[in-house]
Amino acid sequence: RLLTATIQEINKNPRPLIIDEIDRARNLRDVMQILNTIYRETHIPIILITNKKEFLDGLEEDVKLTLFLERINFPTYTNHQLYDILNYRLKLAEADLPEEVKQHIVGYSTREGSARILLNLAFKTLQESNTSPQFIQNLMKTYRDEDWKEFINGIPHLEKKILRIIIDLEKENITITPPEIRKRFDISPSRLSQIITILEHNYGVIETKTTNLGRKGGRFRTINFINQKEMQMVDKIIV
């Protein structure tokens, strides 16, 4: 009913649909199917914003063919741009920070390419009246951990289940392959393949490698986390 009402409202008052951080949707597959339906019925422009360069690669073919999504790359903020943003916002707030502190904040923010982190660091530094490098470093770690936890908690239950199995297999030193995952969870090969693609290309938490052992051994796909640090963080969140 809500989808039908939304489509009716859009047809009455057409306007572009813009969704920021689409990759953080709780159930991306369902969201994309809804957008697919909306576009079929209204033909309004749909703009999706994501920080994942491989986002389009993980979408279903039906969605790709219907939405005709075109990739437009926007470069991340440069050091100079973030420095200008910081000075502009400080001026608006009638506040200031020592030059070395501003450079420190800009340095961390440039690595992430994020104006949001830049402004959060500046705000907390002013709020706590603490400009020490250690304080800013600890803030940065807290933001990264919180973002990661929010991201993992927001992914669908089925994808969490597969991640949990991958972690368990890794801990048991078992070569992680789709058949090994299916031994522990009843899921069709095609659905599992789709989830693995999402985890690799949309979320960037795992990587896959296809190994060919020739006629005798055949070809098989192995799965691993990008690095041990990310696996340990996911391990703490998904129980």
Residue 192 is part of a domain; what is its CATH number?
A: 1.10.10.10
Whole-number pLDDT of residue 63:
80
Instruction: Give the total residue count for the chain.
Output: 239
Residues 174 and 166: their CA atoms lie apart, in Å, by 10
> Of 58-62, 71-75, 96-100, which range is least confident?
58-62
Q: What is the CA radius of gyration of the chain?
A: 22
- Based on the domain organization, do 166 and 227 belong to the same domain? yes
3-state SS string for 199-220: HHHHCCCEEEEEEECHHHHCEE
Q: What is the pLDDT of residues 3-13, one digit of tens each?
A: 899 999 999 99
Residue 139 belongs to domain spanning: 79-152
Residues 27 and 31: their CA atoms lie apart, in Å, by 6
- Per-residue pLDDT, averaged over 131-140, amounts to 92
Whole-number pLDDT of residue 182:
95
Does residue 2 register a pLDDT over 80?
yes
- Per-residue pLDDT, averaged over 161-181, amounts to 94
Choose one of 152, 168, 183: the last residue of a domain. 152
Nearest residue to 39 via CA among 60, 10, 13: 10
- Based on the domain organization, do 145 and 164 belong to the same domain? no
**Using a CB cutoff of 8 Å and minimum separation of 24, what contacts does 24-32 make?**
24/151, 24/154, 25/154, 26/154, 26/155, 26/156, 27/156, 28/156, 28/198, 28/202, 29/60, 29/156, 29/198, 32/59, 32/60, 32/63
- Based on the domain organization, do 163 and 233 belong to the same domain? yes
- Based on the domain organization, do 161 and 229 belong to the same domain? yes
Q: How many percent of the chain have pLDDT more than 90? A: 52
pTM of full prediction above 0.85: no
Cβ–Cβ contacts within 10 Å for residue 131, how many? 16
Residues 6 or more apart in contact with residue 65 via CB below 8 angstroms? none
Confidence of residue 143 (pLDDT cuts 50, 70, 90): confident
Confidence of residue 212 (pLDDT cuts 50, 70, 90): confident
- The DSSP bridge partners found for residue 211 are 220
Mean pLDDT for the chain?
88
Residues 239 and 233: their CA atoms lie apart, in Å, by 11
Residue 72 maps to a domain: no
Domain count, the chain: 3
Confidence of residue 144 (pLDDT cuts 50, 70, 90): confident
Choose one of 127, 152, 177: the last residue of a domain. 152
Sign of CA dihedral 34, 38, 43, 45: negative
Q: Give φ, ψ of 2 to 5 degrees.
A: -65, -40
Confidence of residue 116 (pLDDT cuts 50, 70, 90): confident
